[in-house]
Amino acid sequence: MGIHDTTHDARALMLDAPVTYERADVHRVRDVLAKFPAQCRAAAELRPVPTPTFPRPRLVVVAGMGGSASSGDLLAGCAAERLDVPVIVHRGYGLPTLAGGRDLVIATSYSGDTAESLSAAEAALSRGCPLVAITSGGRLAALARERGVPRVTLPVGLMPRMALGYLFFPLLGILKSTDLHVSKGGEVEEAFEVIDALAGELGTARPTATNEAKRLAQGIGNHPPVVYGGPVTGTTAYRWKTDFEENSKTFAAAGVLPEMNHNEIEAWSGPLARELYLVLLRDREEGPEITRRFALLRELIGPSAAGVAEVSTRGGGYLARLLSLAYLGQWTSYYLAIVRGVDPWSVPVLDALKGRMRTDR
């Protein structure tokens, strides 16, 4: 126990020392994360050009990969209880078979060169689907110019996973232009206020003792994190997983209650569980059945894990609740990268694979 406590204290000292970030974060990811509230406000003002004039769709398909697809997950989570039109996120080439001329396709690719997003855009055009592109440039922007497709132009210079605000908020305006209202009055401003507060609480200047993201990273340490959410927070759990993978360069897993109660829970009886750190994403508005399931989950598998942490949404509207968790996850994965001594910006293996896909033909 003494060794564990000493390691814990050493991590806290490291995370609270300004020199740590000058050495370990040469790309200044901390500045990008600190500016996330400003990014969201700027993103809320972005509009497609030319202005879309599409009819109310039967279905909305957000086509993207990686960080660009996360915006679709957030949109689908906010829309699930509000719209009578389904919002689906398509991760892959082409489009789902059911997508047709009455369905809106939004192709998202921060770089504009994501092969799967380009394939989806081309499939939408060939099927006569209304199409909007969200990108900073690349081949998707060129396609939009050539075909007269409405395009939201994003600022350049970020990693896609760090452009969540730019990729998400334009979606609200696009859907609103087709008479699909995902957010109600005051919910966007509430979300801004919540992430403003979090920016002050989670930044590098806030000490570990009062910084939730630092404490989470300190606890996870060298353990692979396993993140579980409920019906509302499940897609955010997946976002935490991918942030851990890209920023912290660690294996991570994610799951959703109640589904994982019917299968994955049994795996926690094995010896690997002792190496895993359990993170539970709770929603302030979750129903009593989900609350009970989380309590039983912690009781039954918590003692098997290397550690357990619970975090909760903030705010009243879906937008504030989901965005607050996503922002906390970004900071947590950032601090975990610092703890592990890895660069939270670069993704060399991912870049190598993309390069090989372009050239190995």
For each of the domains in the chain, give its residue range(s) and CATH number, in order of start.
2-27+187-340 (3.40.50.10490), 37-176 (3.40.50.10490)
Six token digits for residue 106: 């939004």
262 classed as catalytic: yes
pLDDT of residue 361: 58
8 classed as catalytic: no
Q: Please say if the pLDDT value at position 241 is more than 90.
A: yes
pLDDT of residue 251: 97
In tens, the pLDDT along 246-300 reads: 999 999 999 999 999 999 999 999 999 999 999 999 999 999 999 999 999 999 9
264 classed as catalytic: no
Q: Please say if the pLDDT value at position 158 is more than 80.
A: yes
Catalytic-labelled residue, pool 8, 35, 223, 354: 354
> From the CB of residue 163, how many other CB atoms can be counted at a distance below 10 Å?
25
Residue 1 pLDDT grade (very low, low, confident, very high; cuts 50, 70, 90): very low
User: What mean pLDDT comes out for the span 162-171?
Assistant: 97
pLDDT of residue 14: 87
pLDDT of residue 298: 96
HSE-CB of 105 using CA atoms within 13 angstroms: 32
Residue 9 pLDDT grade (very low, low, confident, very high; cuts 50, 70, 90): confident
Catalytic-labelled residue, pool 262, 264, 266, 299: 262
Residue 6 pLDDT grade (very low, low, confident, very high; cuts 50, 70, 90): low
CA–CA separation, 231 vs 318, rounded Å?
Answer: 12
In tens, the pLDDT along 29-52 reads: 999 999 999 999 999 999 999 999
Catalytic-labelled residue, pool 187, 246, 249, 286: 246
> From the CB of residue 303, how many other CB atoms can be counted at a distance below 10 Å?
10
Share above pLDDT 70 across residues of the chain, in percent, rounded to a whole number: 98
The CA-atom distances, in angstroms, between 89 and each of 105, 130, 173, 268 are 10, 16, 17, 30
The full DSSP string for 299-351 is HHHGGGSSEEEEEE--SSSHHHHHHHHHHHHHHHHHHHHHHHT--SS--HHHH
Residue type at 282 in one-letter notation = R
Six token digits for residue 179: 């008479």
Average per-residue pLDDT in the chain? Answer: 94
Select the more confidently predicted residue: 211 or 354: 211
In tens, the pLDDT along 303-342 reads: 999 999 999 999 999 999 999 999 999 999 999 999 999 9
Instruction: Name residues whose C-beta falls within 8 Å of residue 183's C-beta, 6 or more positions apart in sequence.
Output: 78, 172, 317, 319
pLDDT of residue 360: 66
Residue whose pair of structure tokens reads 């039109």 in the numeric block:
85
The CA-atom distances, in angstroms, between 157 and each of 111, 160, 165 are 9, 9, 14
Which stretch of DSSP H or E encloses residue 278? strand 277-282
Sign of the CA dihedral with 265 first, then 241, 60, and 43 last: positive
Q: Which residues of 184-216 are buried (b: 16+ CB within 10 A; e: fewer)?
A: eeebbebbbebbeebbeebbbebebeebbbbbb
pLDDT of residue 351: 84
CA–CA separation, 195 vs 212, rounded Å?
Answer: 14
pTM: 0.94
